[in-house]
Amino acid sequence: MSEDVELALRSRRVVTPEGVRAATVTVADGTITAVLPYEAGVLAVELGDDALLPGLVDTHVHVNDPGRAEWEGFWTATRAAAAGGITTLVDMPLNSLPPTTTVDHLRIKKEAAQGRTHVDVGFWGGALPGNVKDLRPLHEAGVFGFKAFLSPSGVDEFPHLDQAQLGASLGEIAEFDGLLIVHAEDPAHLTDAPAGPAYAGFLASRPHAAETDAIARLLRQARRLNARVHILHLSSAAALPLIAAARADGVRVTVETCPHYLTLSAEEVPDGASEFKCCPPIREAANRDLLWQALADGTIDCVVTDHSPSTADLKTPDFATAWGGISGLQLSLPAIWTEARARGHQLTDVTRWMSARTAALAGLDRKGAIAPGRDADFAVLAPEGTFTVDPARLHHRNPVTAYAGKTLHGVVKSTWLRGQRVYSEGEFTDPKGRLLTRDG
């Protein structure tokens, strides 16, 4: 055993980019140094049949801190992340006050996060009408890219872009080859949901055409400006052919979807159950099957939570007025694994969607794989273990979840950040997360 090995973990199921195999993973200075044979003769933490996964990278999380920390905060969100096997999250620029739309606001955000994160945290900036001048300074200050809405965001301080404003922001971002990530619903197709507890009315108020038209326009702008764009939380499978065609034609576009679109369906939403409300909406089971096909064939790149909580009182039984957002941080891995295994996918697929490709999206070269030179970020998962979701056992701030009562496969037993065990069987260490910037 070489002297600079300070830690080794061995498992019969190490999930590497090349496949699942029995191996010993050695770590020094928080970095993976080697992936050795299982019988390497190194003193190692023995994981047996528990799988060793690269820590997940969740690039779509609304922490809401500062300003709406009663909805969610850095302490609680990053505990939920750690308990869910997520070792890196990238925070969305809205729902906190102020939103992350200037360098000064980014500084305020970082002050709120500093020393309070149990996993590593990076930040997206925001593209608003009138802040084109702030985009390059934010890019230079280390945000991973910029979020824009093409329809109302749900909070007044984060207005959406019209097509001319989108062109101006995207043109500026293309100048420094940045990334624009887009909530793509076309307001021309959105109507006010009818008041009341029925899900069908809400679903009909946000039709497939809202997504397909917004995405078609975005792709035209990306092509015209040779800009890099990412489509957030794709719900409608109707947009998939457009995306595939644009990509085949050289448009630089990536796409994500979320656990709730892949594991829940419109048919199962009970009356008044606004914990299922999000935008774009959860659609029918047949649409969900097409999203899985697109994940399998690579049209959809990655899976992220879009964890977007509020206080429980805002989740009223009225689909017209309830807050739209689903809390998924702690449950995203078991929710996806449960459905993925039933559909014949492997753990390597899950880590490609939830770790490798999300790390690549954000340019996080040290994250996303169990391989020498990467950060020693791991999730230890009992893939055959099961549990029934009890909202009281979730670590995000407000115990609201669309997964309550579901029995899921995949128990996260421990989570490791740069070689340190930060979560184990319900217990956390002091926060050891770092604040990340683009390029390190």
Report the interface residues with Zn ion, using CB under 5 A: 306
Q: Which is nearer to Zn ion, 306 or 349 (CB)?
A: 306
Q: How far is the CB of 322 from Zn ion (least distance, A)?
A: 16
Asked whether the beta carbons of 146 and 176 are under 8 A apart, the reply is no
Write out the two tokens for 8: 């080794």
Asked whether the beta carbons of 121 and 60 are under 8 A apart, the reply is no
- Residue spans of beta strands (DSSP E) within 207-274: 228-231, 253-257
Q: How far is the CB of 216 from Zn ion (least distance, A)?
A: 21
DSSP state, residue 312? G
Write out the two tokens for 133: 């001048």
Q: Which is nearer to Zn ion, 109 or 432 (CB)?
A: 109
Spatial strand order in the sheet of 7-16: 31-37, 19-28, 7-16, 45-54, 378-388, 407-417, 420-424, 427-428
Nearest residue to Zn ion, scored by beta-carbon proximity: 306
Q: How far is the CB of 147 from Zn ion (least distance, A)?
A: 8
Kindly report the number of other CB atoms within 10 A of residue 276's CB atom: 23
Asked whether the beta carbons of 208 and 290 are under 8 A apart, the reply is no
Q: Which is nearer to Zn ion, 213 or 306 (CB)?
A: 306
Q: Which is nearer to Zn ion, 181 or 379 (CB)?
A: 181
Cα angle, residue 251 at apex, residues 181 and 175 outer, rounded to 5°: 60
Q: How far is the CB of 153 from Zn ion (least distance, A)?
A: 9
Q: How far is the CB of 301 from Zn ion (least distance, A)?
A: 17
Q: How far is the CB of 62 from Zn ion (least distance, A)?
A: 6
Q: Where are the alpha helices (DSSP H) in 114-266?
A: 132-140, 163-175, 199-205, 208-225, 240-248, 259-263
Between CA 201 and CA 349 the distance in angstroms is: 35
Q: Which is nearer to Zn ion, 310 or 415 (CB)?
A: 310
Q: Which is nearer to Zn ion, 256 or 306 (CB)?
A: 306
